[in-house]
Chains A and B, each alone.
Chain A
Amino acid sequence: MSVRRVGSRRGGVIGRRAGGGWLVLIATAALGYQGCAPRPVVVPELAEAPRRARFEAAIVGRTSHLAAEAELNAWASGSKLPDLPGVQARLLLVGPDGFRMRVGSLFGIALDVSARGDSVTAYVPPRRMALTTESAGDSLGVADPGRLGYRLWSAAWVPPAAAWKSATWDDSLLMLRWMEQGDSVRLAVGSNGLPRSVAFDREGHGGARADYLGWSTWDGVLWPSALEVADATGDYGLRCHVQNVTFRRAPDRSRLMVAVPAGAARVTRDDLRRAIARLGKL
């Protein structure tokens, strides 16, 4: 039996872009078994209008449910992280700008983190350490992480109309570009009308990229089932497999609240980052 290092085996990084601030998530997609028999070659349709129609129909399906819950298997890696084991987590998304993730541990919960708009609460129960901020853009360097997380996990990227008008083709992908809060955004849309990747760049601050590598249908909704996020430097990344997605039409934002015990130590971003890097030591 061989001993393998997680970081060398699995791709993906979670990262933060300095200044502009980007949490990045990466995922790998499990392509379904295709069989060995020859099949007809399907040439992707290279027309913008039908692709846009598919894109808009699909995104309505994903965003009409304002709350979603899911189970995650996730693997973090990157040059700034030690080798970490995979983790299992539960994810709650509440549109348009909230998410919460509870990461399991050997004995209970290793990390409970929530973002609502620009507010973030993270609690590490084994260490009784908590970070709370109402202005993540200033204190964490990640502007509006709640909205970013919601869009990332649900692939709810909505290009402005002008981006469709100026869209270009890159092989079979329709590439849309626009500016958003100082970031240059590039969205690649596949022939099925689903996002294939999204990338952000801000001059002088590097960038981040998310790849949607697999999609599955839950409750009639096509939803990302495998994604990878990485920053441009490869410092941080994350690969996720998403399972058992359930939807709620009436979101309860109180479920986003992470309760922190009164006696918990309040820590800085760097303290929390170190604690998360040691989450294996539970």
Chain B
Amino acid sequence: MRGAIAVAILFVLRPAPAPARPVAPVMTAFASRLRASGRAETRLEREGTDPMSGAARVVPGRLALEWPDRARLEFTQTGERLTLRADGGEWLEPNLKQMIRFSAGDASGAYRWWRFLLGADPAAFSAVKAGPRRWTVTAAARDGLPEDHATITLGPNGLPLVLEVEDTPGAAARYRFRGWTFAKPKGPAAFVLEAPPGFAVVPLH
């Protein structure tokens, strides 16, 4: 009985979890600069640990975002490129000699975290403070996608520093951003990929 009472007291006295709040204030610094200039660019490193080998892997790349709905990701070592727009996008995979064309619905899962960075749909996300300049962001279930979570860490300047997404338990992918710059937008044409000669173009459904 005493034990049960002690557990109950501990339960009552435990620190309350931080409340979820709108995500917009978390990304204010980045969103204001992106909207003001129209385009944000950064070098990035995709870091992850292969759960099968235990080996860490770092893949360098570049990310460009343009307000309100355009994202382009390039991995320099593999030549892999990905563009995402409100109407869909393309995924170029040199290793497979193929380029996949997809609709917005096809890529909604991949698109959701770049939309979070773009600040295009803040109502779809909420955030809970997880540490100094660190937030756990929840993407609401919608469009047939389950609820999903990621962690964003901001730099001292309020700009995104690390976006961490967990595919499978214990196997997170971290996108580490290094040096955001802001410029005039290049426009939609810069976010459409064309397949090199000899590549298969595969439309999704």
Q: Taking A2-B201, A85-B98, A128-B146 as contacts, is the C-beta distance between A105 and B110 under 8 angstroms?
A: yes
Q: Which residue of B lies closest to A114 (CB)?
A: B52
B145 at the interface (CB under 8 A from A): yes
A137 at the interface (CB under 8 A from B): no
- Contact indicator B205/A108 (Cβ below 8 Å): no
In B145-179, the 8 Å CB interface with A consists of: 145-146, 165, 167-171, 173
Q: Which residues of A contact B168 (CB under 8 A)?
A: 109, 112, 123, 125, 258-261
Docked Cα-Cα span, A128 to B54, in Å, equals: 23
Q: Taking A69-B53, A108-B167 as contacts, is the C-beta distance between A4 and B107 under 8 angstroms?
A: no
A80 at the interface (CB under 8 A from B): no
Q: Which residues of B contact A85 (CB under 8 A)?
A: 96, 98, 100, 202, 204
Least Cβ–Cβ distance between B72 and chain A, in angstroms:
13
How many chain B residues touch the partner (CB < 8 A)? 38
Docked Cα-Cα span, A127 to B203, in Å, equals: 21
Q: Which residues of B contact A273 (CB under 8 A)?
A: none
In A48-87, the 8 Å CB interface with B consists of: 69, 73, 82-83, 85-87
Least Cβ–Cβ distance between B182 and chain A, in angstroms:
24
Q: Which residues of A contact B51 (CB under 8 A)?
A: 102, 255, 259
Q: Which residues of A contact B195 (CB under 8 A)?
A: 1
Partner of A108, one of B50, B53, B165: B165
Q: Which residue of B lies closest to A105 (CB)?
A: B110
Q: Which residues of B contact A258 (CB under 8 A)?
A: 168
- Contact indicator B107/A282 (Cβ below 8 Å): yes
Docked Cα-Cα span, A102 to B167, in Å, equals: 11
B93 at the interface (CB under 8 A from A): yes
- Contact indicator B201/A255 (Cβ below 8 Å): no
A92 at the interface (CB under 8 A from B): yes
Docked Cα-Cα span, A259 to B167, in Å, equals: 10
In B75-130, the 8 Å CB interface with A consists of: 82, 91, 93, 95-96, 98, 100, 102, 105-110, 113
Docked Cα-Cα span, A255 to B170, in Å, equals: 12
Docked Cα-Cα span, A268 to B81, in Å, equals: 35
A126 at the interface (CB under 8 A from B): yes
Q: Which residues of B contact A106 (CB under 8 A)?
A: 82, 91, 107, 109-110
- Contact indicator A127/B146 (Cβ below 8 Å): yes
Q: Which of B52, B91, B195, B205 has the most A CB atoms < 10 Å from its CB?
A: B52
- Contact indicator B100/A280 (Cβ below 8 Å): yes
Q: Which residues of B contact A3 (CB under 8 A)?
A: 201, 203
Q: Taking A1-B195, A88-B96, A128-B146 as contacts, is the C-beta distance between A255 and B202 under 8 angstroms?
A: no
Q: Which residues of A contact B (CB under 8 A)?
A: 1-6, 9, 69, 73, 82-83, 85-88, 90, 92, 100, 102, 105-109, 112, 123, 125-128, 255, 258-261, 278, 280-282
**Could you pull out 6 A-B pairs where Cβ atoms are within 8 angstroms?**
A85-B98, A86-B93, A100-B52, A109-B167, A112-B167, A280-B205
Given A102-B51, A105-B110, A108-B167, 4 more contacts at CB 8 Å?
A: A4-B202, A100-B52, A106-B91, A260-B169
Q: Please list the 4 inter-chain residue pairs (A to B) with the smallest Cβ-Cβ separation, ordered nearest first.
A: A107-B110, A106-B110, A259-B169, A280-B204
